[in-house]
Structure 1
C-alpha cells in the first residue's frame, strides 16, 4: 500500500514522514509534499492508495483536495488533519468521501492507527474487486496465451533450467520422462507472377500456414505457435519409453500432411526444418536452433520439403549449461554481487575445465569468456584499455594461462575489475545527475511549485530514482535542503535591506504571512527584525 502525505508545515511533514517507520507497517511512503497541486501531480503519475493531508493549505485546501480525489480516484482513502476551529466544519463535509478526520496535533500513534485502519478497508475493497473466483476466471481466459508465451520463451532459450521447471508446474505440464522434437514451418517465397498472392502477402500466408498446422496437429503432444518472425514453431513430445525412430517417423508423416494441405489450399509451397530429439528440457532451445538451421537448407534442396537437421551428434548439455552460466556471470558482474560471481566462476571451472574435458574444448570455453567480458565492456560504450587499466596486459595474455587455478584466478580478477568499473561509473553518473538537480534547484528557488516531481519532469530523471538517491548524495532530504537554501537566501536579502514581500517572492513564497511564519520558525526571529 502506498501512502502520500500532504502537509505545508515542514516540521509537521518531516515528523510524520520520517518520524514514523512506515516500512515496519508494510506501508510504502510514496512522497511527502507541501501542496495539494503536488499531490495531484503525483497521483496522476503513481498508484496511490492512501492520502494523509492537512486541511488548511494555501492555494488549495485539504477539503478541495479530498473532493478532487473522490472525483478522480474514488478508491483512494483520504485522512484529513484539522485544527480545532476547523474540526466541526470538516466533519460536516461527509460528501467529500473523507475516511476519517484527526484533530491536530495528532500523535504519531494515532496517525499510524488510522492509516492502518484505512489500509484494512482498502485491502478488503481490493479483495472484493479481485476475488479468487474472478482471478481464476481471468487466469482461465488468459491461460492459452500464457502457455504459448511460455513455450515461445522456452524454445528461444530465455529460461534457465530452474525457470523451465517452475513455469511448467504453473501450467500443469509434466516434463519428466518425456522426449521432445522441435520443428519450424515456413512459407516459401511467393513468385511475382502468382495469380492469387503477391510477395507483400507473406504475413497473411504465414498466418494461414499456422492455422492449418494448428488444425492438423491437435492434442497435448503438439504445441503449435507463431514465433516472433511469423514462422510456425511446433514442439512435439512423447513418453520417454517410445522408440525414437517411431516417434520421428510419425512426426515426419504429419509434417508431410501439413505441407501437402498448404499446397492444396493455397496453391503455394511451404517447407519445414526438423531438429533433433532431446530428453532434457534445457536442450530444447538448442534443438530448435537446429531446426531453423535445417530450414535454411531449402536454398540448396529446394522448396516444399521437410529437411531434418544433420550433424555429428545431439546437442551437448554442458554447452547449453554454459549459456546459463554466462548469463549468471554477466548478471553478477553488472550488479556487483561478489559472492554470486565467485560461485558462478567455480561452477564454470567444474563444468568446462575439469579433467574429463579435452584440451581443445577447454580452450574453446576460455575463448567464450574472453569474448563475454569484452562484449560487456563494449556494450557500455567503453574500451577495454580504459576499463581494465593496469589489468589490460594480463587480459591480452589469456592464452598463456596454463592451469585450471590460473584460469579461475584470471577470470575472477578480470570480472572484479569490470564490475568495479561499472560501479564507479554509475556512482559518477549519480553525481552528475545530482549536480544537475542542485543546479536546477538554485536556478528555480524563486518558484513556489519547486518539487522533486517538477525536477523529475524537467531533467528527465525518474522521480523514484531522485527520491531514493537525493538524501544519500546530498546529505539532506529534498525538503530540508530547499528550506535551508530559501531561508539562507532570505536572510541574506533581508540583511541587504530588501523588503519582506520582495524577499518572499524571490525565495518561492507567494503568501508573505506564510513566508514570515516559516522564517521565524527557522531563525527564531521575524523577517522584519533582521536589521534591528
Structure 2
C-alpha cells in the first residue's frame, strides 16, 4: 500500500512522515508534500492507495483535493486532518469520499490507526476485485475469442511446437493424438447480373456462409474461424482409431449438405477446398495451405464444388519443416541461452542436411541459414563484422563447408556469437541506466528529499521501470540502497569526529532523533558510541 502525505506545516509533515515506522505496517511512504498541487502531480505519475491531507492549505484546500481525487482516482482512501473550527463542515462533505477525519492536534498513534484502517479497507476491495470466482467468470466469457485467435494463428503457422503445446493447454484444448483435416470455405464470385446481391455485398454473404456452416457443423467435432481475408477455415478432429477413410466418409456428406444449403438459402453458390489429413499438429499449417491451393482450382472446375487436395512431394514437406525449425533457431538466438541455441541448431542441421537430401538442396539450405543470420544481425541495427568479430571471416567463407559436421560446428559458433552479443548489449544498456541512477544518489545523498520518485523525475525515467530494474541489477530496493549508503557514510563521518547532528545533516536527515533511531537499528549501536569503536 502506498501513502501520500499532504501537509503545508513542515514540522507536522516531518513528524508524520519520519515519526512513524510505516514499513513495519506494510505501508510504503511515496511522498510527503506541502500542497495540493504537488499532490496532484504525484497522483498522475504514481499509483497511490491512501492520501492523508490537511484541510487548510494554500492554493487548494484538503476538501478540494479530496473532490479531485474522488473524481479522478476513486479507489484512493482519504484521511483528513482538520481543526476544531473545520470539523463540522468537513464531516458534512462525505460525498467527497473521505474515510476518516482526525482533529488536530492528532498524535501519531491516532494517525497510524486511521491509515491502517484505510489500508485494511483498500486491501478488502482489492481482494473482492480479484476474487477467483469473478476471474474465472471473466475467463470463461473471453475464452471463445482466445480460442478463435489460437486456431487462426495455428492455421497460419505462427506457433512453434512448444508454443502450440503451451497455448492449447492454457486454453483447455486437448490436441493429443488426433487426426486433423483442414477445409476452406468461400463464397463463389457474385455475378454482375445478380439482382439480389452486388459485388460490394461480399462481406455480408461471406458472413452468411459462416452462420450456415456453424449451424450445419454444430454437432461435429471441429473448430471454425474466419481467416484474415474473410475465408472460412474449418479444422475437423477425429481419433486415430477412426482412421482417414472413415473421417473423409463422415465429413464429405457434411460439406455437400453445407454447399447445397447455401445454394437454397442465398441463391448463390459456395465452394470448398479440402486439405490432406495430418496427425502432426505442426503439419496442419501446411495442410491448410494445400486446402487453399485446392480451392483455387475452381477457376478450372467451376463453382459450387468441393475440391480435394492433390498429393504433395516429400521435398515440399521437408522445406515446410525447415521453415518451422528456422523460426525456432531465430527465437533461440534472440531470447534463449546456450543450451537452447545448441538444441535448435542440432535439430535444424539434422533436418536440413539429412543423408537423403540432394547436394544442390543442401547448398540452398546453407545459403538460407546465412541469410537468416545476417537478417538477425541487421535487424538489431548492427553490422556482421562488428557482431561476429573474429568469426566474420569464417562466416564469409560458408561456401567452403563440405561436411555436415563442419556445418554444425560453424552454425553453433555463429549462433552463439550473435546470441551472446544480443544478451550482452541488453545487459550493458540496463547497467548504464543504473550507473546513472547511482551517480544521482551519491550526488544527492545529503538531500532529505532524495527518493525514487525524485530520481525518476529528474532522470526522465518511468517510476515503475526504474524500481524493478534497480532491484534487478543491484539486488536491493532503491530505499534500502539509499539507507545503506547513508548509514555507511554517517559511520565514517562520526568516526572522524563529527558531531551527531552534523553527520545527520550531511546524510540527509533533518531530525537528529530520527537519524539516531535509524542508525541504531542499522548498526546496533547509538551514534554516540561510534567514538568508542
TM over 0.5: yes
Give the Cα–Cα distance (whole angstroms) in 1 for the partners of residues 193 and 382 of structure 2. 51
Q: Is the 8 A contact 1:318 1:351 kept in 2?
A: no
Question: Pairwise mapping of residues 12-411 of structure 1 onto structure 2 (< 5 A)?
Answer: 32=31, 34=33, 36-37=36-37, 39-41=39-41, 43=43, 48=47, 50-53=49-52, 55=54, 59-60=59-60, 64-78=64-78, 93=90, 95=94, 96-98=97-99, 118-312=118-312, 325-335=325-335, 337=336, 340-350=337-347, 352-353=349-350, 357-360=355-358, 363=363, 365-380=365-380, 382-385=382-385, 387-388=387-388, 391-411=391-411
Q: Offset at 1:284?
A: 2.1
Q: Secondary structure at the match of 1:273?
A: strand
* Residues 176 and 426 of structure 1: CA distance in aligned 2, closer, same or farther (over 3 Å): closer
Residue in 2 that maps onto 1:500: none
Q: Secondary structure at the match of 2:238?
A: strand
Q: Offset at 1:224?
A: 1.8
Q: Offset at 1:470?
A: 9.3
Q: Is the 8 A contact 2:332 2:344 kept in 1?
A: no
1:190-232 per-position Cα deviation (integer Å, ceiling 9, x unaligned): 3333322222222112111111111111125122221122110
> TM-score, normalising length from structure 1?
0.66
Residue in 2 that maps onto 1:3: 2
Question: Pairwise mapping of residues 458-477 of structure 1 onto structure 2 (< 5 A)?
Answer: 464-465=464-465
* Residues 265 and 381 of structure 1: CA distance in aligned 2, closer, same or farther (over 3 Å): farther
* Residues 142 and 429 of structure 1: CA distance in aligned 2, closer, same or farther (over 3 Å): closer
Number of residue pairs matched by the alignment = 454
Q: Is the 8 A contact 1:345 1:411 kept in 2?
A: no
Give the Cα–Cα distance (whole angstroms) in 2 for the partners of residues 87 and 269 of structure 1. 83
1:411-437 per-position Cα deviation (integer Å, ceiling 9, x unaligned): 3443344446555489679979x99xx
* Residues 520 and 466 of structure 1: CA distance in aligned 2, closer, same or farther (over 3 Å): closer
The RMSD of aligned alpha carbons is: 5.2
Task: Say which one has the larger Rg.
Answer: 2
> TM-score, normalising length from structure 2?
0.66
Give the Cα–Cα distance (whole angstroms) in 2 for the partners of residues 274 and 315 of structure 1. 21
* Residues 469 and 303 of structure 1: CA distance in aligned 2, closer, same or farther (over 3 Å): same
Q: Secondary structure at the match of 1:287?
A: helix
Give the Cα–Cα distance (whole angstroms) in 1 for the partners of residues 174 and 318 of structure 2. 23
Q: Offset at 1:21?
A: 7.7
Give the Cα–Cα distance (whole angstroms) in 2 for the partners of residues 152 and 126 of structure 1. 35
Q: Offset at 1:237?
A: 0.9
Q: Secondary structure at the match of 1:157?
A: coil
Q: Is the 8 A contact 1:272 1:305 kept in 2?
A: yes
1:81-133 per-position Cα deviation (integer Å, ceiling 9, x unaligned): x7xx97997899564524697999969xx97x987765553332233345444
* Residues 327 and 312 of structure 1: CA distance in aligned 2, closer, same or farther (over 3 Å): closer
Return 5+ residue gaps in structure 2 as ranges: 440-452, 483-504, 511-533
Q: Secondary structure at the match of 1:126?
A: helix
